[in-house]
Structure 1
Amino acid sequence: MELTQLKYFIAVAERLHFGRAARSLHVSQPPLSLAVRKLEEELGVRLFERTSRSVALTEAGRELLTEARMILSRAEHAAGRMAALASGSGGKLVIGYNEPALNTMLPEALFRFRGCYPGVDLELREMEPDDQLTALRAGVIDVGFLRPFHHDLGEFSAQLVYSENYALAFPPDCHLAGVPEPELVRALDREPLLIFARVVNPALFEAIAAAFYSRKVFPEFREFAHNKGSLLALARAGFGAALVPESSVRTAGPGLEFRAFPPILPPVEIVAVRHAAAASPAAVRFTALLAQS
């Protein structure tokens, strides 16, 4: 049984006339009649009562009409789903992310993508950068968002989607509040400075330290925190000023002041990462949309 046979059968069943059915399908009547006759032979039943003046459905024909309509509807639905999947306007897109992306550019990007491609089912997974890269290699996620510093991304397609500098956060009564920005770096010499713990990203820790040391500034680094929230909480508690991404001001809450930090440190960047060659169509569309931002 072929879909074309069912399509021809439905046309005849709905019009009860082989000639009119053939015209509606833009085919000649003999191939139509042959297709219906072969369908009857395959099923072992008569689908129509035919006379020289009329055509009527048999009980088997009426039963098949209901089933045939459902079969063709499901086939058309499946074809549409496959076309959407191939074009990137349908299917599923699994995105890995971590806190920096979620607190900056990712919500707006997801909102825009859902508006443009409502047929794509989005699944989000919070993951650390190394776990994202492993998941990308295994095909568990389609796109990842991470800070690229000291990650080898040569096997992937990576595009910069966000960049910012650092800010210094401290309580309102901190003596640093009155220091002019050009003197802010020098003012941190021998001062307690909260930064991400070395174990979080050893290469980044060393780069930040080197930026200070090369200027003959030697802060008392306090590497207690593994995340931005902990840095801000410790600064609020008086353990020292905290060096955090500028975007931290959005989620910091009360009790802290922020000062733009002179651009002596590596920028805080976020890249979107996907397979270079085997990316899904939806992943390609998503990263293309990011490039338009």
Structure 2
Amino acid sequence: MELRDIEIFLTLAEELHFTRTAERLHVSPARVSQAIKKQERVIGAELFERTSRLVVLTSVGQQLRDDLEVGYRQIQQAIATASTAGRGMTGVLKVGFSSAWCGSLIVKAADHFRTRHPGCDVQIAEMPLHDRFGALRAGAIDLQLTELPVDEDDIVNGAVIYSDQRALAVPAHHPLAQRGSACLEDLAGIPLITITGPPQYWLDAHLPHRTPAGRVIPRGPATIAWQEALSLVAAGKGVCPTSIRSARYYARPDLAYIPLVDAPPIEFGLSWPVNGETITVQAFVRTLLEVAGGESPA
């Protein structure tokens, strides 16, 4: 029995429908029927009971399916392993992230990637808030999913994975928390918790100095860590812009996350070094996009 005939038999045993089996394998229904009849002649027994409305496995068919499945999966895995090695997709891919939801997505994508490319492992690391690109430049990671903008000559911008409503982290009993939303003009006179380390263009995009009407937004304490920023907010030292997803991933009883209704969205995108777009990186990006496309919106 040829490998293609085994594939046809196992697919029909799963679908129990000749047309669906043909569509799934991109062959004609006649090809499926011919393969099954050939197998039945060789074996000397019917594998399926067929009527105009129903296809079911016979007892012989059930036994053959059970005996073939494990071996067929092993063959598929061996072919995938050889193909991966032949295309150079082996070794370790190191992926960085900056927020909990980005990390969760990368973990899911890594599971899919390892199944498809068993010669590759994926290692995941959280990027420090204050050093956006150091790990990429040092070769400690191969690509990352972090807040945009990224405007660096030696780093490539990839796809935007998340585009979220911007929100404001405020103390739970802050007047803005009682209102349930805020606009950029509300930031006038309210200190913003700031971050030490990122490029100025990144800070300007996330921590504005003035409202749209030109009123000053004062600076609050500076930090290099996100959890420390949230603790400063909870202590009443200032407020901090973030994604609306923070309400789910960084919930605390002493904090509230309220939408900034007139602020531009906050985007999270992929980045990698200019000379770092390997076939492994390309394959992982494709996998990540597939997994992200199947996620439910926040």
The interval holding the TM-score normalised by the smaller chain is 0.5 to 0.7
- Equivalent position of 1:4 in the other structure: none
Q: SS of the residue aligned with 2:245? A: helix
Q: 1:271 aligns with which of 269, 272, 295?
A: 269
In the aligned structure 2, how far is the partner of 1:271 from the partner of 1:291? 11
1:201-237 deviations in Å (ceiling 9; x for gaps): 3212233455733323322221422232122111111
- 2:133 is paired with a residue of what secondary structure? helix
Candidates 211, 224, 227, aligned match of 2:225: 227
Residues 97-133 of structure 1 show CA distances to partners (whole Å, capped at 9, x for unaligned) of 1432644532332233234444422233445432233
**Within 5 Å, which residues of 2 pair with 1:164-175?**
164-175=164-175
Partner of 1:286: 284
- Report the 3-state secondary structure (helix = DSSP H, G, I; strand = E; otherwise coil) of the residue aligned with 2:123: strand
CA distance in 1, matches of 2:275, 2:176: 50
2: distance between equivalents of 1:157 and 1:184?
Answer: 29
| Root mean square deviation, CA, Å | 3.4
- In structure 2, the CA distance between the partners of 1:157 and 1:85, relative to structure 1 (3 Å rule), is farther
Amino acid at match of 2:166: Y
- The answer as to 2:127 corresponding to 1:124 is no
In structure 1, distance between residues paired with 2:79 and 2:240: 56
Shift in Å, 1:287 = 0.9
SS in 1 for 2:86: helix
State the AA in 2 paired with 1:109. Answer: A
Structure 1 counterpart of 2:91: 92
Counterpart CA distance in 2 for 1:92 and 1:263 is: 46
> Cα gap change, 1:217/1:162 in structure 2, threshold over 3 Å: closer, same or farther?
same
CA distance in 1, matches of 2:206, 2:260: 13
Tell me the distance in 1 between the aligned counterparts of 2:86 and 2:142: 15
Alignment partner, residue 245 of structure 1: 243
Rounded Cα–Cα distance in structure 1 between residues aligned with 2:197 and 2:276: 33
Q: Aligned partners of 1:189, 1:291: CA distance in 2, in Å? A: 39
Alignment check: 8 A CA contact 2:185 2:212 kept? no
Over residues 134-182 of structure 1, what are the superposed CA-to-partner deviations in whole Å (9 max), with x where a residue is unaligned? 145xxx643333334243257636222222232112222211123363x
Distance 1:285 1:144 in 2: 14
TM-score for both structures, normalised by structure 2: 0.58
CA contact (8 A) 2:160 2:269 kept: yes
Is there any run of 5+ residues in structure 1 with no aligned partner, and where?
1-77
CA distance in 2, matches of 1:176, 1:278: 45
Residue matched to 1:206: 204
- The answer on 1:257 being equivalent to 2:260 is no
Q: Secondary structure at the match of 1:129?
A: coil
State how far apart, in whole Å, the 2-side matches of 1:287 and 1:203 are.
26
Distance 1:257 1:94 in 2: 37
How many positions carry a matched residue from both structures? Answer: 210
- 1:80 & 1:209 partners in 2: Cα distance? 47
Could you tell me how far apart the structure 2 residues matched to 1:190 and 1:272 are? 35
**Aligned-partner Cα distance in 2 for 1:96–1:143:** 5
Aligned to 1:162: 162
What is the CA distance between 1:91 and its match in structure 2?
1.5
